[in-house]
Amino acid sequence: MSILKKHPERDPGATEVVGGDELLVTGGHDFTSLTNKVSGIVENKPPSQWWLVFTMAVSGLMLLLGAIGWLVWEGTGVWGLNNPVGWGWAIVNFVFWVGIGHAGTLISAILFLLRQQWRTAINRFAEAMTIFAVITALVFPGIHVGRIWLAYYMFPIPNQMLIWPNFRSPLLWDIFAVGTYFTVSTLFWYVGLIPDLATLRDRATKTRKKVLGFFAMGWRGGNRQWQHYEKAYLMLAGLATPLVLSVHSVVATDFATSMVPGWHTTIFPPYFVAGAVFSGFGMVMTLALIARKIYGLEDIITVNHLEKMNKIILVTGSMVGYAYMTEFFIAWYSQNEFEVFAFINRAFGPYAWAYWIMFLCNVITPQIFWFKKLRRSIPVMFVASIFVNIGMWFERFVITVTSLSRDFLPSSWDYFSPSIWDILTFVGSFGLFFTFFLLFLRFLPMVALSEVKGVMPEADPHHYHHKEGGAK
């Protein structure tokens, strides 16, 4: 910790404004100090907080494995599901984690194409989060089925029964959408990592050097390599961009194509995407604030960056709020008894508490970011980001459970209560996510060094103007 706090190379008194623009990296860093700073995190022993959090995360992971073991042994009945409510926390968690997995690729791909250079501070971090969130999410469709050992029936594998999956089923679309998203996100992340892995390799010795050398794929930083690299990166960004929009749209069709009142609405795909970006940014914010504090990255992930993220949270949060109101309007406008009841029941029925938690967290909380002071306050944004995470989990809960709990025939209505195994599985999923994430922090550069360097004045010494400079 103490080592990290020292920045012997930098000039703390250096100007933070060049040519009338605020610098993206503050604190007087030059290339060397930046490299030392970021590489030092993975080269030195992790801080004691890391060990503490890592122990907790691995415990959580064990919890998850235990809960899944019990589930496989005993059956789906260990969860709180019942007859009308066929989908409960497992699906809620799936959508929640997939949603979180939106921010990374959005930041790295869409913001890249939109030339938002502030993204470089957080993109590596967010991408890693995306991948781990998607991995965590993918656990749930696998374990939520009744016969887990036959879940592979969902894949189009040629088989002796000559049966293919049902291509009309949105669950199958999910398999493809999430699978593709995961593949492209991972590729994108890895491609972005190559120059930084090479940097680490050059600073390493012995086995570590060999391992890093393998993954750096012979990167030497030559012009030709950079040329190919930039092209590949651009192309992957182009590929990833529609996926950001498609993956949650497809997840939304799980609900939207069904006929359950409260699910059966055309607004779902865009509404889900907005919600996903919202929740993804919430999670990036939470994680960034913690990592920034622990690793002393205040100069790289500056308040300016955070403020920009808060603006996105405000925008997407308002979009989500708009969607909530639209749902009510359309339900009323349709004059369909079942639709109207589904929404009134959400807000005033037995799950009203969940609905209002969701509404408060998702719609009211982001509105504080209209105020610049609050937008730039670290404690405020930290609490708000937690609220967003909570609210978005509840949104999925409200959608999934309240709709199923009371559908068409009142005779089959029932109330869903989670069992202890639902709760342990959910808690355990954080263990899985954080285990991955902490290993990432420990072994890989959490800031995209090469990209950050590209947006520093030094990268373009003659015509520094950050709106035009940087990696292209």
Binding site for another protein (CB under 8 A): 74-77, 80-87, 144-148, 150-151, 153-154, 163-166, 168-172, 175, 254, 257-260, 337, 341, 344-345, 348-350, 404, 406-415
Min. distance of Cβ 424 from another protein in angstroms? 18
Q: Of 17 and 409, which has the nearer Cβ to another protein? A: 409
H or E element, residue 433 = helix 420-443
Q: Compute the distance between CA of residue 165 and CA of residue 440 in angstroms, rounded to an integer.
A: 36
Min. distance of Cβ 179 from another protein in angstroms? 13
Q: Of 51 and 155, which has the nearer Cβ to another protein? A: 155
CB 262 within 8 A of CB 342: yes
Min. distance of Cβ 425 from another protein in angstroms? 16
CB 402 within 8 A of CB 82: no
Q: Compute the distance between CA of residue 96 and CA of residue 240 in angstroms, rounded to an integer.
A: 20
Q: Compute the distance between CA of residue 307 and CA of residue 289 in angstroms, rounded to an integer.
A: 12
Closest CA to 60 of 439, 437, 431, 426: 431
Q: Of 322 and 413, which has the nearer Cβ to another protein? A: 413
Q: Of 79 and 118, which has the nearer Cβ to another protein? A: 79
Min. distance of Cβ 402 from another protein in angstroms? 12
Q: Of 87 and 440, which has the nearer Cβ to another protein? A: 87
Place of tokens 């920034």: 292
**DSSP at 301:** S
Min. distance of Cβ 238 from another protein in angstroms? 30
Place of tokens 């309240």: 402
Min. distance of Cβ 105 from another protein in angstroms? 25
Q: How many residues are present in the chain?
A: 472
H or E element, residue 17 = strand 17-18
Q: Of 148 and 204, which has the nearer Cβ to another protein? A: 148
Q: Of 254 and 299, which has the nearer Cβ to another protein? A: 254
Measured CA to CA in angstroms, residue 222 lies from 109, 128, 185 at distances of: 24, 26, 25
Q: Compute the distance between CA of residue 327 and CA of residue 191 in angstroms, rounded to an integer.
A: 41
Min. distance of Cβ 236 from another protein in angstroms? 29
Q: Of 214 and 348, which has the nearer Cβ to another protein? A: 348
Min. distance of Cβ 79 from another protein in angstroms? 8
> In sequence order, what DSSP letters do the residues of 63-118 get, joined into one string?
HHHHHHHHHHHH-GGGSS--SS----HHHHHHHHHHHHTHHHHIIIIIHHHTT-GG
Q: Of 155 and 370, which has the nearer Cβ to another protein? A: 155
Min. distance of Cβ 345 from another protein in angstroms? 7
Measured CA to CA in angstroms, residue 144 lies from 81, 132, 150, 159 at distances of: 11, 19, 12, 23
Min. distance of Cβ 250 from another protein in angstroms? 13
172 Cα distance to chain centroid: 22
| Percent of residues in the chain assigned helix, strand, coil, to nearest 5 | 70, 0, 25
Q: Of 141 and 457, which has the nearer Cβ to another protein? A: 141
Q: Compute the distance between CA of residue 348 and CA of residue 353 in angstroms, rounded to an integer.
A: 8
